[in-house]
Structure 1
Amino acid sequence: MRTPISRALVLLVAVVVGLLPWAGPAQAHGTIINPSTRAYQCWKTWGSQHMNPAMQTQDPMCYRAFQANPDTMWNWMSALRDGLAGQYQQRTPDGQLCANALSRNSTLNQPGAWKATNVSRNITVQMYDQASHGADFFRVYVTKQGFNPATQSVGWGNLDLVATTGRYAPAQNISFNVSFPGRTGAHVMFVIWKASHMDQTYMWCSDINVS
């Protein structure tokens, strides 16, 4: 028979477990890690110190994202939608591209001072896939010259398609080359990943500074 103290300990453990971020097999997927997507950059920089008050002044966009929904960062690998049947533009409204039209990740759509990766006009994009799903393709877009990520949210009309890859066999690490012709300064790289194991689509924004 449990004592009142033991019952209290069981309840406490249950509450703590319920608060822990969970990334089971259904959630174990991937993202672009270089140049870092918005959620991945926030997790990589602040995941181990997400209670640090310095984030509010040093990285205000990540601070907003953590305040709105920390699960966006804990599950940086899970920005997916099923069953789009290739209707990426039709089913992803302007201003919702960076969150893959997922309301739980909506802060990723907000314009502002997101931390950017310094890149040249010719880069190697690196993608990490925990579950080794492989890819039917990646489509890479970049914002038009003159777009301002600090004040504008990303819409389809702001983007130019700069690369479409072929298929990739299942692997945890995938890389491919991309060029950004005619671009300098602050931009957003937008990537669509069509996983090969089912009709599952991921979309991400990476902030870049092209030199």
Structure 2
Amino acid sequence: MLFAVVVGALTWSAPAQAHGSVVGPASRAYHCWERWGNDHMNPAMQTEDPMCWQAFQANPDTMWNWMSALRDGLGGQFQAQTPNGTLCSNNLSRNASLNKPGQWKTTTVGNNFSVHVHDQASHGADYFTAYVSKQGFDPKTQTLGWGNLDLITQTGRFGPATDYTFNVSTSGYTGHHVLFVIWQASHLDQAYMWCSDVNFG
């Protein structure tokens, strides 16, 4: 009976751990989970998708919990609380593999595109802030720092929902860039940060 009660409590508490991520253009962890989650033991990943391979080798939980890259209580002090080189992991040591430069798979976008955030727990957003890495920054060889980013947009508030979409308008970018998005959730002072790799066609 006690075992059943404990299992029931664990099952009940699981949804509270669900949050969200940028699913389009896919964040690094979400891409690796979406592409390889059901096939993560496939040795072909090492050659076909080496950055996901190194991420799975470092810590598979980074992908299994692609929706949980959050930190509490930053009070909007994102830059002060997130050192250069740790932006893609949201300064979470368990997700450090996401900071590594290399041949991350990209999503092709134009100058104007939409960002899609999936929110499993319908927290709402005080705002989203989106940056693009500067022209000349090379995600294949450089780790991302605040000085490598151009601020593109900051949205207004979104009410609770499972999906949010906002538009991004850019110009002058070509090739592989990092889209860096911050989500300030509304239900608590929780900040999520993600890197998505895009190719401006």
Supply the AA of the counterpart residue of 2:77: Q
**Equivalent in the alignment of 1:166:** 156
**Equivalent in the alignment of 2:71:** 81
**Equivalent in the alignment of 1:47:** 37
Is 1:121 matched with 2:111?
yes
Is 1:155 matched with 2:183?
no
Equivalent of 2:174 in 159, 175, 184: 184
Superposition TM-score, scaled by structure 2 size: 0.93
- Name the count of aligned residue pairs: 190
| 1:1-211 map, 5 Å | 24-211=14-201
Supply the AA of the counterpart residue of 1:32: V
Whichever of the two has the greater Rg, that structure is: 1
Matched residue SS, 2:191: strand
Cα distance in 2, alignment partners of residues 45 and 180 from structure 1: 28
Cα distance in 2, alignment partners of residues 38 and 165 from structure 1: 22
Matched residue SS, 2:32: helix
**Moved runs in structure 1, 4+ residues, more than 4 A?**
none
Pairwise CA RMSD:
1.1
- Bigger mean CA offset, 178-187 vs 77-86: 178-187
State whether residues 123 and 177 of structure 1, in contact with CA within 8 Å, keep that contact through their aligned partners in structure 2. yes
C-alpha distance after superposition, 1:103-122 (max 9, x if no partner): 00000000000000000010
Matched residue SS, 1:111: coil
State whether residues 126 and 184 of structure 2, in contact with CA within 8 Å, keep that contact through their aligned partners in structure 1. yes
Cα distance in 2, alignment partners of residues 121 and 70 from structure 1: 34
State whether residues 16 and 121 of structure 2, in contact with CA within 8 Å, keep that contact through their aligned partners in structure 1. no
Cα distance in 2, alignment partners of residues 77 and 180 from structure 1: 27
Displacement of 1:180 after TM fit?
Answer: 2.1
Displacement of 1:27 after TM fit?
Answer: 1.8
C-alpha distance after superposition, 1:38-71 (max 9, x if no partner): 0000000000000001000000000000000000
**Equivalent in the alignment of 2:4:** none
Supply the AA of the counterpart residue of 1:98: C
Superposition TM-score, scaled by structure 1 size: 0.89
State whether residues 56 and 63 of structure 1, in contact with CA within 8 Å, keep that contact through their aligned partners in structure 2. yes
State whether residues 27 and 75 of structure 1, in contact with CA within 8 Å, keep that contact through their aligned partners in structure 2. no
Q: Structure 2, unaligned stretches of length 5 or more?
A: 1-6, 8-12
Displacement of 1:161 after TM fit?
Answer: 0.5
Supply the AA of the counterpart residue of 1:75: N
